[in-house]
Structure 1
Amino acid sequence: MAIELDHLIVPAHDKIASAKLLAELLDVRWSPTGTGPFAPVFVNDGLTIDFDTWPAPIPLTHYCFRVSQQEFDAIRERIAAKGIPYRSSVFGPVDNAVGKWNDGSIVYWNQPDGHQWEILTVSYAR
């Protein structure tokens, strides 16, 4: 059997708002309740992101999704439509621009809890 990531627990000040926002941006299903205390986002058939309400401070974490160019364009449009600032570089200023890496597209944004999210079309890890 191939090794697959099944689920992640992501801390949040408001698990329902965080789960709903990510699900809307990615255009995937979510639920305000799940197994245990979590608000799950069903990224695909194999991966669930379980948001959990934690007290402050929330540790900064980084999550990246590799998507097709068509999915990338749609997600970036939803980010912009919600007025979420985004940037083309992981450490750069907000420029509301698409970065280019290895002939692919890349965008970073932060969620209100401080988590850094990324979408890219070509992995730089492989």
Structure 2
Amino acid sequence: MTVELNHTIVYAHDKSVSARFLADILGVPVGSPAGHFVPVELGNGVTLDYADADDIRAQHYAFLVDEEDFDAAFARIRSSGADYFADPGHRRPREINHRGGGRGVYFTDPNGHNLELLTRS
């Protein structure tokens, strides 16, 4: 039996703004609203379904990207004005990391979710 993650729900103060923020950083489209969700589909078929909520607890979402996509996404992070860090605890601001011979960066979305881009898992 093969088990794959199909989708997860990401709670947001404004689902459309939050979906657009991530989609713009990753360079992917925002999908058409489905029910009360705004989807962002990733290259491996997993969908992040954004839903409005008042009480949001920050979550961590990590995205494996190739070197070229990292460069493009990191440029978009910097131009967006989002805070970014080399570590998940946010103690090394305005830096990236080089774990495992790759590159990685953590940044926060408009809801305080801790997002990560990495080139090596």
TM-score (norm 1): 0.89
Structure 1: distance between partners of 2:28 and 2:6: 16
Structure 1: distance between partners of 2:66 and 2:46: 17
Task: Name the counterpart of 1:101.
Answer: 99
Equivalent pairs, count: 121
Task: Name the counterpart of 1:47.
Answer: 46
Structure 1: distance between partners of 2:14 and 2:115: 17
Q: Residue 120 of structure 1: CA displacement? A: 0.5
Out of 101, 110, 113, the residue aligned to residue 112 of structure 1 is 110
Show structure 1 runs of 5+ residues with no match.
none
- The structure in which a higher percent of residues are strand is 1
Task: Name the counterpart of 2:60.
Answer: 62
- Aligned with 1:9: secondary structure? strand
Q: Residue 60 of structure 1: CA displacement? A: 1.2
- Aligned with 2:103: secondary structure? strand
Q: Which runs of 4+ in 1 moved over 6 A?
A: none
Task: Name the counterpart of 1:84.
Answer: 82
Task: Name the counterpart of 2:30.
Answer: 30
Q: Residue 92 of structure 1: CA displacement? A: 3.0
Residue type of the alignment partner of 1:20: R
Q: Deviations over 1:75-102 (max 9, x none)?
A: 1011001111100111133521111101
Structure 1: distance between partners of 2:90 and 2:83: 12
- Aligned with 1:41: secondary structure? strand
Q: Deviations over 1:6-33 (max 9, x none)?
A: 1110000000000011000001111351
- Check whether the contact 1:86–1:96 (CA below 8 A) recurs between aligned residues: yes
TM-score (norm 2): 0.93
Work out which structure has the larger RCO, using CA pairs closer than 8 Å and 6 or more positions apart in sequence. 2
Residue type of the alignment partner of 1:37: H
> What's the RMSD between the two structures over aligned residues?
1.4
